[in-house]
């Protein structure tokens, strides 16, 4: 086998993630069809369709009316009903911790007028449902370097707005507010990690985490923190909301892993919103080729 060093790889050989995913789906479809060659044409067609549908976007209506955003209530329809009270303009992002350029940035300056791109990602909730979302966003690795993280910046911590006046859920003690999440710096800098500003080609609806949220597609949905107001570079692993709440159930890494059960239910199947049948959950939510290398040598049962 020929092993290329990165410098030998021509830029045209580096496939953008969504093209890569589409090509993979095509290969999968071809493989499934090959195996199904003996089936009657109608069934063959149905199998091809099933393979294609792995990255078929979930309808806009479902993505924007079935949500988890406890700041607006714990029911799935609460965020769509209540998030109108969130004021997203103007919006300020604070950057602090181990970096050369900390400060308070107006959202526009924070994003430095970079054009968001479309990324179609699977989203797998820890509750065993999933969606496919056409996000609009900017890879986080195009934004973080501007703040010149120091060499001891090993992690990045993200914080959601704290304002019980705008966020009625924060008037209850259902979680320890504000919602906080974190990534290892190499996870934050991975090209798949997206800072989301929209979906379906439009501005991000409040219930989906306007005006700025993360999309980390190989991790359970709770890592994809919404309505971010602060980013902090830290040396120690930050404490995160769900890990603090129930450490035996929600780890810091929270990588989608069908082989590691949640203590109260299996994680090896999921129901795609809109589907009737459940489907198999994929290792790293289907992004293993791109991200498995981040965890080489780590025990994923311990670091769940």
Ligand X SMILES: Nc1nc2c(c(=O)[nH]1)N[C@H]1C(S)=C(S)[C@@H](COP(=O)(O)O)O[C@H]1N2
Strand partners, 196: 137, 213
The single residue among 70, 105, 147, 252 that binds ligand X, judged by CB under 6 A, is 70
* Residue 158 interacting with ligand X (CB under 6 A): no
Q: Which position among 135, 179, 218, 250 is part of the footprint of ligand X (CB under 6 A)?
A: 179
Which of 138, 210, 212, 225 touches ligand X by CB under 6 A? Answer: 225
Count of residues in the chain: 304
CB of 45 to ligand X, least distance (A): 31
Which range binds ligand X by CB under 6 A, 40-48, 63-71, 84-92, 259-267? 63-71
CA 36 to chain CA centroid, Å, is: 34
Q: Is the peptide bond before 211 cis (omega within 30 degrees of 0)?
A: yes
Residue 193, interface with ligand X (CB under 6 A)?
Answer: no
Which 3 state secondary structure label does DSSP give 304?
A: coil
The least distance separating ligand X from the CB of residue 167, rounded to whole angstroms, comes to 9
Q: Is the dihedral of CA 253, 137, 208, 111 positive or negative?
A: positive
d(CA 16, CA 119): 10
Distance CA 32, CA 21 (A): 16
Dig out the tokens for 242 from the structure.
């769900």
Q: Which does 226 bind (CB under 5 to 8 A by kind): ligand X, Mo ion, none?
A: ligand X
* Binding-residue total with ligand X (CB under 6 A): 17
For residues 223 and 216, is the Cβ–Cβ distance under 8 A?
yes
Is the CB of 216 or the CB of 291 nearer to ligand X?
216
Among 182, 205, 209, 221, binds Mo ion (CB under 5 A): 221
Q: Rounded to the nearest 10 degrees, how much is the dihedral formed by the CA atoms of 78, 219, 138, 179?
A: 50
CB-wise, 108 or 176, nearer to Mo ion?
176
Report if residue 160 touches ligand X, rule: CB under 6 A: yes
Residues that bind ligand X (CB under 6 A): 67-71, 123, 125, 160, 179, 208-209, 221-222, 224-227
Residues that bind Mo ion (CB under 5 A): 68, 125-126, 221-222
């Amino acid at each position: 086998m020929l092993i290329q060093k990165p410098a030998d790889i021509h830029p045209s050989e580096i496939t953008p993630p969504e093209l890569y995913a589409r090509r993979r789906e095509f290969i999968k479809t071809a493989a499934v069809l090959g195996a199904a060659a003996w089936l009657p044409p109608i069934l063959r067609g149905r199998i091809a369709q099933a393979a294609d549908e792995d990255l078929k976007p979930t309808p806009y209506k479902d993505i924007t009316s079935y949500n988890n955003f406890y700041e607006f209530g714990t029911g799935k329809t609460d965020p769509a009903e209540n998030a109108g009270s969130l004021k997203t303009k103007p919006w300020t992002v604070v950057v602090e911790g181990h970096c050369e350029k900390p400060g308070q940035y107006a959202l526009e300056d924070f994003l430095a007028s970079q054009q968001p791109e479309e990324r179609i990602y699977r989203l797998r909730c820890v509750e065993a449902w999933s969606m496919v979302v056409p996000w609009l966003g900017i890879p986080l690795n195009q934004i973080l370097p501007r703040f010149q993280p120091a060499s001891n910046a090993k992690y990045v911590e993200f914080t959601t707005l704290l304002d019980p006046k705008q966020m009625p859920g924060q008037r209850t003690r259902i979680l320890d507010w504000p919602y906080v999440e974190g990534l290892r710096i190499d996870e934050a800098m991975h090209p798949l990690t997206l800072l989301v500003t929209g979906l379906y080609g439009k501005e991000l609806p409040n219930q989906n985490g306007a005006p700025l949220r993360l999309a980390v597609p190989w991790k359970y949905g709770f890592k994809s923190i919404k309505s971010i107001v602060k980013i902090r570079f830290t040396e120690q692993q930050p404490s995160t909301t769900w890990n603090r709440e129930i450490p035996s159930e929600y780890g810091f890494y929270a990588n989608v892993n069908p082989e590691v059960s949640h203590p109260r239910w299996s994680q090896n199947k999921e129901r795609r919103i809109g589907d009737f049948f459940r489907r198999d959950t994929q290792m790293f939510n289907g992004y293993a080729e791109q991200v498995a290398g981040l965890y080489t040598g780590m025990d994923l049962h311990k670091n769940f």
